[in-house]
Amino acid sequence: MELQTALTTLAMPPFAPLVGLLMALAFWFFPASSPLAKLSVPLAVLCFLSLWICATPAFAQWLGQRLVNQQQEAPEVEPAAVVILGGGRYRDEEQGRERLSAASLERVAWAVQEAPEGLPILVSGGRVFTGEKQPESALMATALEDLFGRNVTWRENCSRTTAENAANSAALLHDAGVENVLLVTHWWHMPRAADVFARAGLQVRPLAVGGPGELVPKGESGLLRWLPSAGALIRTQVYWRELLGMQWYRWRALPARRQC
């Protein structure tokens, strides 16, 4: 998983523009007659503009709209279970403690608030990186049971990716005779997640955390839409990763059920 994460980072800003700027700096020191020396300034300008654009709210909004356009119409099915997908964890290496990330906790709280109370719950998420102590599903189950007083019926402990979430969850649910689910994840993750869960043989009704209305945060209108910010760059990374992931999944077969 560390290798996959590294490759994903290479394909997203700000890595590529920064590498381009370093190359432009290196080319500057070539002999003046060298074609690479003549390429130095245009390459530096191109990379600077690329980094600027990727960090603007306007570009992040444009990418997010591409995700909105990928959303499929939800089937009219009566869900028989709720599936909550993990969204990461925080780790304190010194104290050896782990807790749910803000994204994971938001998904758990959203399921408690919005899903019908009588439906059984499946939490999905394993150990993604080396050294993680508990499966992410165990952290989510603890939050559901201790903070919200909700019982967890199934814990899918082995998945590391959205595709494995789908394959492993579908196997557990099919064994229990469940075919229709209410899927809980963030709106920007929902197109990829719903698609791969459908490919795993489940009828999916999305229950997305948030929505496209978040594409234009308050205070980022007018001229500010074209000024770079750390928040806009983070959103660009999130949306870009989802769009790349959707294309990658379309070329790959669904993985087999993963054992821990």
Q: What is the pLDDT of residues 167-225, one digit of tens each?
A: 999 999 999 999 999 999 999 999 999 999 999 999 999 999 998 888 878 777 788 89
Percent of the chain with pLDDT over 70: 97
Please give the mean pLDDT across all residues of the chain. 90
Q: Token pair of 132, please?
A: 């993680």
How many whole angstroms separate alpha carbon 11 and alpha carbon 61? Answer: 19
What pLDDT score was predicted for residue 46? 96
| Confidence band of 2 (pLDDT split at 50, 70, 90) | low
**Parts of the chain belonging to CATH 3.40.50.620:** 76-211
* DSSP letter assigned to residue 257: P
Closest of 121, 181, 175 to residue 152, by C-alpha:
121
* Structure token digits, residue 30: 């070539």
Determine the pLDDT at residue 259: 80
Q: What are phi and psi of 127, to 5 degrees?
A: -100, 115
Distance separating alpha carbons of residues 209 and 161, to the nearest angstrom = 19
Structure tokens at 123: 């939490």
Closest CA to 135 of 122, 151, 148: 122
φ, ψ for residue 89, nearest 5 deg: -145, 165
Q: What is the pLDDT of residues 90-148, one digit of tens each?
A: 988 777 789 999 999 999 999 999 999 889 999 999 998 878 889 999 999 999 999 99
Q: Which CATH architecture has domain 76-211?
A: 3-Layer(aba) Sandwich (3.40)
Q: What pLDDT was estimated at residue 50?
A: 94
Q: First vs last Cα of the chain: how many Å apart?
A: 14
How much of the chain, in percent, has pLDDT values that exceed 90? 68
What kind and span of H or E run contains 67? Answer: helix 57-70
Length of the chain: 260
Contact at 8 Å (CB) between 258 and 158? yes
Model confidence at 248, pLDDT cuts 50, 70, 90, reads confident
User: What pLDDT does 112 receive?
Assistant: 97
Name 22's Cβ contacts closer than 8 Å, sequence gap at least 6.
none
pLDDT in tens, 44-90: 999 999 999 999 999 999 999 999 998 877 778 899 999 999 999 99
**pLDDT per position as a tens digit, 16-51:** 899 999 999 999 999 888 888 889 999 999 999 999
